[in-house]
């Protein structure tokens, strides 16, 4: 029997309104109807993007024979959404260009896309069921702990990953023309002051969360994401990548978790600082 031709394609949903609203009311019903939630292969994922206006980039992996149906259906439903929730908008269907070098090579790109799919489904479910006042940074912390634990690495190695991430994103907060070493000291002190306000709650909660995943007693959605991440990262660890490349890939996956949650680039270093503090607490308490 001839294998069915399956190929990635993309839709860019530009919207000047609330992107979370569009994710809840347009994207979620669409992907739930056309793509099985428990698929073992990557079938879709989304990211947020701001170039030429805020928008959702929805990537889909479908049989060529179905793509026209998906495009027509999404176009119709997008127009209905834009009519109900008016704001500047546009819909485009550009070519999907995978970031192959960023995530390793052609083979490992498939593993990254599977992570994107699992992460997107988990985050979309959180956005749809989010309680008033629920913190995206706290949800980011949970997602990063799931991903870090799935590596199977010792905590000292995980802390190296967190520091690499912080060093990459912290300079976005620096004032131009100022001494970078001084700026780093200043911002890490600011992070410490901010984290001290909530650490009495966050630190023990993070340890309980870590131990629940380890024991297999966390809620089913968390355990499913952890297992999927573990299989994906096992593939990466068996591949011929240098240590620095593995760390770069890990931090890219972590950054995209934040992106899907709507966390700004300027918040990323602080979020990872919190994650690092939790890892240190887990290791030493």
Residues 161 and 35 in one domain: no
Residues 110 and 248 in one domain: yes
Residues 153 and 215 in one domain: yes
Residues 70 and 170 in one domain: no
Question: Quick check: is 79 in a domain?
Answer: yes
This prediction's pTM: 0.96
Stretch 51-80: mean pLDDT: 97
**For residue 86, what is the domain's CATH number?**
3.30.70.600
Residues 124 and 242 in one domain: yes
Stretch 46-50: mean pLDDT: 98
The count of residues in the chain is 285
Question: Quick check: is 151 in a domain?
Answer: yes
Mean pLDDT over the full length of the chain: 96
Residues 75 and 148 in one domain: no
Domain boundary among 92, 123, 138: 92
Residues 163 and 276 in one domain: yes
Residues 191 and 238 in one domain: yes
Residues 194 and 251 in one domain: yes
Residues 234 and 129 in one domain: yes
Angle at 98 between CA 93 and CA 104, to 5 degrees: 170
pLDDT at 243 over 60: yes
pLDDT of residue 178: 87
Tokens 């546009």 label which residue?
Answer: 90
* Three-state helix/strand/coil letters over the chain: CCCCCEEEEEEEEEECCCHHHHHHHHHHHHHHHHCCCCCCCCCEEEEEECCCCCEEEEEEEEEHHHHHHHHHHHHHHHHHHHHHCCCCEEEECCCCCCCCCCCCCHHHHHHHHHHHHHHHHHHHHHHHHCCCCCCHHHHHHHHHHHHHHHCCCCHHHHHHHHHHHHHHHHHHHCCCCCCHHHHHHHHHHHHHHHHHCCHHHHHHHHHHHHHHHHHCCCCHHHHHHHHHHHHHHHHHHHCCCCHHHHHHHHHHHHHHHHHHHCCCHHHHHHHHHHHHHHHHHHHHC
Question: Quick check: is 37 in a domain?
Answer: yes
Residues 137 and 254 in one domain: yes
Domain boundary among 35, 68, 92: 92
Domain count within the chain: 2
Stretch 4-11: mean pLDDT: 91
Range of the domain at 84: 6-92
pLDDT at 133 over 60: yes
Question: Quick check: is 275 in a domain?
Answer: yes
Residues 176 and 226 in one domain: yes
pLDDT at 245 over 50: yes
Stretch 187-204: mean pLDDT: 98
């Amino acid at each position: 029997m001839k294998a069915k031709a399956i190929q990635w394609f993309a839709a860019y949903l530009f919207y000047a309104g609330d992107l979370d609203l569009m994710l809840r009311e347009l994207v979620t019903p669409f992907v739930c109807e056309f793509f099985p939630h428990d698929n073992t292969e990557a079938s879709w994922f989304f990211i947020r993007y701001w170039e030429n206006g805020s928008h959702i980039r929805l990537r889909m992996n479908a049989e060529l024979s179905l793509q026209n149906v998906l495009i027509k259906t999404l176009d119709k439903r997008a127009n209905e959404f834009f009519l109900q929730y008016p704001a500047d908008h546009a819909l485009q269907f550009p070519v999907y260009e995978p970031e192959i070098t960023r995530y390793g090579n052609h083979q490992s790109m498939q593993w990254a896309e599977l992570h994107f799919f699992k992460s997107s489904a988990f985050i979309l479910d959180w956005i749809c069921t989010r309680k008033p006042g629920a913190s995206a940074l706290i949800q980011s912390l949970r997602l990063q702990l799931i991903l870090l634990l799935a590596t199977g690495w010792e905590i000292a190695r995980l802390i190296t990953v967190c520091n690499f991430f912080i060093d990459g994103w912290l300079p976005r907060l620096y004032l131009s023309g100022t001494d970078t070493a001084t700026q780093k000291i200043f911002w890490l002190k600011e992070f410490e002051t901010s984290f001290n306000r909530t650490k009495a709650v966050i630190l023990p909660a993070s340890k309980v969360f870590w131990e629940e995943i380890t024991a297999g007693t966390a809620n089913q959605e968390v355990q499913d994401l952890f297992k999927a991440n573990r299989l994906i990262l096992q593939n990466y660890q068996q591949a011929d990548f240098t240590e620095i490349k593995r760390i770069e890939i890990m931090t890219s996956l972590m950054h995209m978790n934040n992106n899907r949650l709507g966390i700004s680039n300027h918040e990323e270093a602080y979020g990872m600082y919190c994650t690092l503090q939790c890892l240190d607490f887990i290791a030493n308490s």
